Structure 1
Amino acid sequence: MPDRLKKYREMRDFAQTPEPAGGKPKSKVKLPMFVIQKHAATRLHYDFRLEMEGVLKSWAVPKGPSYDPTQKRLAMMTEDHPYDYGSFEGVIPEGNYGAGNVIIWDTGEWEFIEPGDDPVKAVQQGKLAFRLYGKKMFGEWALVKMKGRSPKGNEWLLLKHRDKYANANVDVTEVAPRSVVSNLDVDEIGGERTWISNRPASSRRTP
C-alpha cells in the first residue's frame, strides 16, 4: 500500500514544527471529516481538506470559499495531509514549510454526491461533487480540475452549487473570520498555541 503521506513528511522537519507527523487512524463516524484551515503563510489562504482513504486530500484556496455560485474560486491541490492534521491550530515556526499562523476556520462532515460511487476515482478524473455539514459551510459544492493551465496539473476550481444555501450577498470569510474551535482570528494565535484540539466548537451557523 503506498505511503500517501511520504511527500507531506519529506517537506517538514517535525523536530521544528508542531504539525502532526501522522498515524492517527481514520475517523469512525458515519460520514468522513472535512476541515478548512485559515493559514496566514506568505500569503493568506484557506486550506480545504476532505478525509479520503485515511488521509486528508488538500487544496489551497487563495480567496477562500464563496456562497455565490457565479464565483469560481481557484483551488491548488497540495500534498495529502494526515488525518490528525484536521485538529491542528497554532503556529508553524519561521524557517519551516508553510510558516505562519493557522486556525480551524470550519470543520464538520462531508458526503460524496457524484460522479459515480467512488470519491477517490472522482478526484482522479478531476471532478468531485459533495455536500458539507459544517458550522459555516453547508450545502452542495464541487471541485473541478482545470485542464492545461499548470505544468503541475494541480489547478482546480471550488464552486458552489445553486441550492437553498447559495447566497451572492454574503462573503462568509468576512462575516465569519474566526476559528470554530478557539474563537480567535488568525492574527490572534500566539506562539504558545501550537496545538489546539478537542475543544467545543461554536454552534453558530453562518450565513
Structure 2
Amino acid sequence: MPYFVVHEHHARNLHFDLRLEKDGVLKSWALPKGPSMNPADKRLAIMVEDHPLDYGDFEGVIPEGHYGAGKVYIWDKGEYNTVKGSIEEGQWEINMEGNILKGNFVLLKLKGRADQWLFIKKKDKFADHNFKLFYRKS
C-alpha cells in the first residue's frame, strides 16, 4: 500500500502538511488548521508542489532564506488506500491507517479554485467529535 505522512511545520505560520504517495511522488497539501478526526470539521487543504518520496522521512530544520524555513516534525505516518474517486476527479476518498489518522477521509476540490481543497473525516468508527488538535513539538 502507498504511504502518507503528516508534517507539523513550524514555519512563518505554524501549519501541517499532508503528503500522499502517488505516481512516484508525494502529492502535498498545506493544512493551515491541521487535520481533524471530527467529521464536522472541514479543513482547508491548499495543494502545493509535489515532493520527492524521500521527503516522507524528513524531520529537521529548513534553513532561513529557504522556502518554508523552520522546524519540521513527523506528526503522523502510515499507509492509505483509495476507497473511491481520484485527484483528477476532484473528489478522492481514502482510508488511512496511521497512528493518529485512522479510517476514511475525503479530499474535495473547491470549484473554481485550482489549489483549494477540503480535507474531511468521514463518519466511521474512528470518528471523534471531541478531537482536539495537538502539537508534537514546539
Q: Which band: TM-score by shorter chain? A: over 0.9
Query: Displacement of 1:42 after TM fit?
Result: 1.1
| Correspondence for 1:154 | 115
| Correspondence for 2:109 | 145
Q: How many residues align?
A: 138
Residue among 36, 40, 48 paired with 2:6: 36
- Counterpart of 2:110, as a letter, is M
**How far apart in 2 are the matches of 1:147 and 1:100?**
32
> Which structure's relative contact order is higher, taking Cα pairs within 8 Å and 6+ residues apart?
2
Residue segments in structure 2 that go unaligned for 5+ positions in a row: none
**How far apart in 2 are the matches of 1:160 and 1:136?**
12
SS at match of 1:78: strand
2:130 maps to 1:166: no
- Counterpart of 2:6, as a letter, is I
Q: Which has the larger radius of gyration?
A: 1
2:29 maps to 1:65: no
Query: Displacement of 1:167 after TM fit?
Result: 1.1
- Counterpart of 1:59, as a letter, is W
Query: Displacement of 1:66 after TM fit?
Result: 1.0
| Correspondence for 2:53 | 83
> Which has more helix, going by share of residues?
1
SS at match of 2:82: strand
SS at match of 1:66: coil
TM-score by length of 2: 0.97
Query: Displacement of 1:102 after TM fit?
Result: 0.2
2:20 maps to 1:56: no
Query: Displacement of 1:88 after TM fit?
Result: 0.3
| Correspondence for 2:67 | 97
Query: Displacement of 1:125 after TM fit?
Result: 1.6
**How far apart in 2 are the matches of 1:110 and 1:36?**
12
TM-score by length of 1: 0.65
**How far apart in 2 are the matches of 1:72 and 1:32?**
24
**4+ runs deviating over 3 angstroms:** none
**How far apart in 2 are the matches of 1:71 and 1:162?**
11
Residue segments in structure 1 that go unaligned for 5+ positions in a row: 1-30, 116-121, 179-184, 188-207
> Which has more strand, going by share of residues?
2
**How far apart in 1 are the matches of 2:43 and 2:131?**
15
- Counterpart of 2:14, as a letter, is L
SS at match of 2:12: coil
